[in-house]
Each structure stands twice: as structure tokens, then as C-alpha cells.
Amino acid sequence: MAVWPLPFPLRKDEKNGPCTLTDLTMDDDDVPSLSAETFAALQEFYSEQQKRQEIINKLEADQKLNENIIFEENWQLSQFWYNESTIQSFVRVINKVVPNGGKVALISCPTLFVPTKRHVGDRITVSLLEYDRRFEVHAPNFIFYDYNSPDKLPPGLEKTYDLVVADPPFLSEECITKTSETINLLAKDKVVVCTGAVMKDHVEKLLGLSLCEFQPQHRNNLANEFSCYSNFDFDNMLK
């Protein structure tokens, strides 16, 4: 059985419990060593710890350097980040329409969270509903969200948000329909949806929103034309 010298003191493995003497073998020089299986488990554990610390470091750097993008896009999740101008436009509108002590929900638009939270501070509550667990670093403001389960939300959120901003991840009738169910559950007043222009009829039918002049832009130019829809005068709020 292959063994390796122990590179660090034995510690409790949060995933597999504490390491025990049964996990150790002794080499010819009586130096404690780990079995291949246990060593691999420890490697995985410390790798995860390192990744979590890297995320925290990025978040801290973001706060210090005033940068808004802390993670790379994951195209498999259909992630396409807004450019800085679009982000600041949303922040301006959010700050204007949400009252003191109010709440805004950001659905599937995670790059709006940091700049919004930075701008509004504790004046309003900002909730991020997102599938990508990398953004769990924003807990307790992070709420795991899968549009396939549109009503699977923490209790007590129904009709509590003064503004809901949503950017459904996929340009499909199923995705906009299920995301709309979530929006209707959360929103007590204003709604903004950013999605492809091809989804216009669905957005109008499902949510009663109107097309805005404002067009969201992305860091990486997309082939699909994107549009913004709202149930209030979004464009006027940008002035």
C-alpha cells in the first residue's frame, strides 16, 4: 500500500471526521504516514479551504479597489456579466425607487449585488437569489435559487420586496415562465426584467411589463439583443 510522509499535523477533517491511528502507517524510519485514501481526502479538504479563502480575499480586494466583478463568467450557467455603465445605471435606479428600510431582490444578476450594497449601505436590504454557490460569500444576503423550483424560497418573503430585478439565465419560455412565478411571489410593487428582445411577448404577457429605452450592455458583446422591461418609468429614473 502506497504511503506518503505526513506534510502537516493531523487535524480533524470536517468531511470525514477526525483522522485516527487506523489511517496511519509507519515507514521504515518510524515517521507517521497517511494511506493514499486518507491523504487524498485531506488534500481535497485543504484545497476547498484554500478556494474559500481565495474567494474571501477577492471579495476584500473588491471592496478596497472599488471593482465590481469578483468571479469569472460560467458560460455553462449562461452567465454574462453587465458592463460597468449598465451596473451603475441599475444602482442609480435601485437607490431612487427603494425607500429607506425597503427591500430589493436581485434574481440571477449577481454582479449587481456588490455595487448596490456598497452604494445603499444599510439603508435598504439587498437579497441575492442565485444558483451559483460561489456567490454564497455574500451570506446572509445570499439565497440559493433554482428557477426550476420557482416557489422554493425561505418562508416569509412573499410580497415583501419593493423592487425585484431579474435576469433569467436562459432565453426560453420555460425559464421566463418559472422566473416570473418567483417574481410574482416576491414583488409587492416594482419589477425590472432584463432578457433577450426575443422574449418580449412572454414578458409582457406574464408580468405586464413595458419595454424601456434603456438597453443593458455586457462586458463581452453578445449576439443576442438584450432589452429591459419594467412596470414603472425606468428611463425617467436614470435622468
SS3 content of the chain, % helix, strand, coil (to 5): 40, 20, 40
**Which pLDDT value is given to residue 66?**
39
Q: By the 8 A CB rule, do 94 and 120 touch? A: yes
Three-state DSSP class for residue 113: helix
| Average pLDDT along the chain, 239 residues, taken 10 residues at a time | 43 46 50 70 76 66 48 64 93 98 97 93 95 88 96 97 97 97 98 97 98 92 86 97
d(CA 204, CA 161): 20
Residues of the chain with CATH 3.40.50.150: 79-237
Q: By the 8 A CB rule, do 196 and 224 touch? A: yes
Q: In what order do the strands lie in the sheet with 226-230?
A: 142-144, 125-130, 103-107, 161-166, 187-196, 226-230, 210-211
Of the candidates 197, 202, 193, 201, the one whose C-alpha atom is nearest the C-alpha of residue 225 is 197
**Which pLDDT value is given to residue 58?**
63
Q: By the 8 A CB rule, do 194 and 171 touch? A: no
d(CA 15, CA 42): 9
Q: Which residue is it, cell 451603475?
A: 88
Neighbours of 21 (CB within 10 A): 8
Protein fold of 79-237: Rossmann fold (3.40.50)
Three-state DSSP class for residue 48: helix
**Which pLDDT value is given to residue 11?**
44
What's the chain's length in residues?
239
Q: By the 8 A CB rule, do 113 and 138 touch? A: yes
**Which pLDDT value is given to residue 41?**
75
Can you read off the three cell numbers belonging to residue 125?
436590504
